[in-house]
């Protein structure tokens, strides 16, 4: 997240063309409030997706995200679109 914050700062006026979306890997602990507080430490424009394990498993599978050890270990990818 810190790297994405730095990238946005380097983009200057073009930063508005970038939307960062954080996808939770801990559906139980990554509540909307917790994710909001986490993202606010980096950039107020960052958005977060929270939900249930059943909702996230297909998303993780579609994007090749690995979640192990009860969510303590997870892959870290940045997708550009």
DSSP assignment of 31-48 equals -HHHHHHHHHTT-TT-EE
Structure tokens at 40: 């606010």
* pLDDT tens-digit series, residues 42-78: 999 999 999 998 998 898 889 888 887 765 566 777 8
Enter the tokens of residue 16: 């508005």
Q: What is the CA radius of gyration of the chain?
A: 13
Average pLDDT of the chain is 88
The one-character DSSP state at 14 is G
Residue 24 counted as domain residue: yes
Question: How much is the pLDDT for 66?
Answer: 83
Q: What pLDDT is recorded for position 27?
A: 85
Number of domains present in the structure of the chain: 1
Contact assessment for residue 71 and residue 26, using Cβ atoms and an 8 Å cutoff: yes
Q: State residue 70's pLDDT score.
A: 64
This prediction has a pTM of: 0.79
The CATH number of the domain holding residue 26 is 3.40.30.10
Is residue 80 a part of any domain in this protein?
no
Distance CA(77)–CA(41), nearest Å, equals: 20
**Residue 29 clears pLDDT 70, i.e. is over it:** yes
């Amino acid at each position: 997240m810190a790297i994405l914050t730095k990238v946005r700062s380097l983009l200057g006026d073009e930063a508005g063309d970038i939307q960062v979306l954080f996808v939770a890997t801990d559906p139980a602990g990554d509540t909307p409030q917790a994710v909001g507080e986490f993202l606010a430490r980096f950039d107020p424009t960052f958005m977060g997706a929270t939900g249930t394990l059943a909702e996230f498993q297909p998303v993780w599978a579609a994007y090749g995200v690995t979640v192990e050890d009860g969510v303590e270990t997870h892959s870290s990818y940045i997708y550009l679109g």
